[in-house]
Amino acid sequence: MVTGRTGIPCMIMRGGTSKGLYFLADDLPDDREERDELLLRIMGSPDDRQIDGLGGAHPLTSKVAVVSPRDDGSVDYLFLQVFVDQALVSDQQNCGNILAGVGPFAIERGLVAAGQDTTSVRITMANTGGVVAATVRTPGGEVRYDGDVAIAGVPGTAAPVVLDFQGTAGSTCGSLLPTGHVSEVIDGVTVTCVDNGMPVVVIPAAQLGVTGAESPAELENDAPLRRRLEALRLEAGRRMGLGDVSDTTVPKLTMVSPPRSGGACGTRTFIPHRCHTSIGVLGAASVAAALRLPGSAVDGIAELSDGPRVRVEHPTGYLDVEVELDGHDVTRTGVVRTARKLIDGTAYPR
C-alpha cells in the first residue's frame, strides 16, 4: 500500500495545453477503487484549491496518464480525469494533450528504445481502443524537449511531438455521428453530435445568444447559459448512447463562431462545466470533422481551405488539426503538439 511515507514514482509533464501526472501501471494498485482513492489523495481532491496535493485547481491540471508496455513493443495509455472538487476519477474520455507526453514518458522509463534521431511510439488509448503513432525527437538516443515549435496557449517553444491518429471516428460512441444525424434540434438549438476521438456537441454560438468571442470567465459567470448548456448536454449524452452523463466529463460542448484571427472558426468549449482556456486535441478533431460535414449545424460558419488542415481558434490562440473525410468516414486525423518534463521523482499522498 502506498502511504505518505513510502510514496510512489511519478513524473509531472506538460502535454500540449494540459499538465498531468504520469505513472507506470505497475506502480499503481491493481484494484480500481484503491487506485482512484490513491490518485485523489495525491492530487489533493476534493478541494477547490487542491492545496494538499499536486493538482493545479483546474480540470486542465488535474489529469493522470497511466502507461504500461505491450508485448509488441508498443504501450498502453489510460487517461484519468481527477475531479477537483469531487471525490471522482473518470476514465470516460481520452485526452489528446496529455497523450503528447506519453511517448516521451515511455522512452524515459525504458518501455520503448530510443532511436538516434526520432523515435516512433505506437500508443493504444485504453479508454477507447484507438491507436496513435507519436513521433518524438531523440537525438543521440535521448528525449529532446527543447525546440522551435510554438503551440498556442503555451509560453515559448519546444520540440514537436507529431501525433498521427488511427481509428478516431466513433472511438467512444461507435460512429462518427452517434445519433445517426448530421444535425438535429435539442431544446430548440440546432447541434451536431460528433465523435472523432472525443464526443462533442457542436453548437453555433449565435443560437445560444452569444458571439463566441466572450472570455471563458464571462461564459462561466453566465448562470442561465450554463444551465441551458447542461440541460442540452444531458439530452445529447442520452441520444449519443452515453446514458446518464450527469456525473461524467463527456460529451464536451463546443460553441462555434466565425473566425477572428485568420483561422477556420472560433470556438468556446465547456469541459463540461468549466470553459476551456484553449481546446483539447481530440475535441478539436471532432469539431474539424463537423465543420467538413455538409449539412452539419455549423456548415457555412467556417472559412475552410482546400487542404486537410483546419485552424481552430480558441481563447488563447489556435490549434491546427488535419482531418480528411470520405463521405461520413474519417480517413486521417493528425496534429502537432509539444510536451515537456517538469519534474521526475516521488509523490507522497496525504
Place of cell 492545496: 51
Q: Would you mind telling me the total number of residues written for the chain in this entry?
A: 350
- The arithmetic mean of pLDDT across residues 117-130, rounded, is 95
C-alpha cell at 275: 470553459
Residue 305 has a pLDDT of: 86
Bridge partners, residue 252, by sequence: 200
Percent of the chain residues past pLDDT 70, beyond the cut: 100
C-alpha cell at 134: 507519436
- Tell me what the pLDDT averaged over the chain comes to: 95
- The arithmetic mean of pLDDT across residues 284-313, rounded, is 94
Query: Which residues make up the CATH 3.10.310.10 domain(s) of the chain?
Result: 8-167+338-347, 184-327
Return the percent helix, strand and coil in the chain, to nearest 5. 20, 35, 45
CA–CA dist 172, 268 (Å, integer): 22
Closest CA to 240 of 194, 273, 202: 194
Tell me whether strands 265-270 and 160-166 are parallel, antiparallel or unpaired: unpaired
Class of CATH domain 184-327: alpha beta
Structure-model confidence comparison of residues 130 and 29, the more confident one: 29
| 0.85 exceeded by pTM | no
Place of cell 513510502: 6
- The arithmetic mean of pLDDT across residues 323-336, rounded, is 92
CA–CA dist 349, 347 (Å, integer): 6
Lowest mean pLDDT among 72-81, 94-103, 164-173: 164-173
**pLDDT greater than 90 at residue 167:** no
DSSP 83: P
Task: Give the torsion sign (CA, 258, 261, 265, 270).
Answer: negative
pLDDT level of residue 49 (50, 70, 90 thresholds): very high
What are the angstrom distances between the C-alpha of 323 and each of 65, 68, 195, 197, 204?
25, 29, 13, 12, 20
Residue 164 has a pLDDT of: 93
Residue 309 has a pLDDT of: 86
| Helix/strand/coil for 283 | helix
Closest CA to 303 of 333, 255, 254, 260: 260
Percent of the chain residues past pLDDT 90, beyond the cut: 92
Strand ranges (E), the chain? 8-15, 18-24, 63-69, 75-82, 89-90, 118-125, 130-137, 160-166, 184-186, 189-195, 199-204, 252-257, 265-270, 309-314, 317-326, 329-347
Lowest mean pLDDT among 3-12, 57-66, 226-235: 3-12
- The arithmetic mean of pLDDT across residues 60-64, rounded, is 97
Residue 5 has a pLDDT of: 83
Bridge partners, residue 89, by sequence: 82
Half-sphere exposure of 168 (CA within 13 A, CB side): 36
| Helix/strand/coil for 217 | helix
Place of cell 463562431: 257
- The arithmetic mean of pLDDT across residues 327-349, rounded, is 95
Residue 2 has a pLDDT of: 81
Instruction: Pick one of 3.90.230.10, 3.40.630.30, 3.10.310.10, 3.40.50.300 as the CATH number of 8-167+338-347.
Output: 3.10.310.10
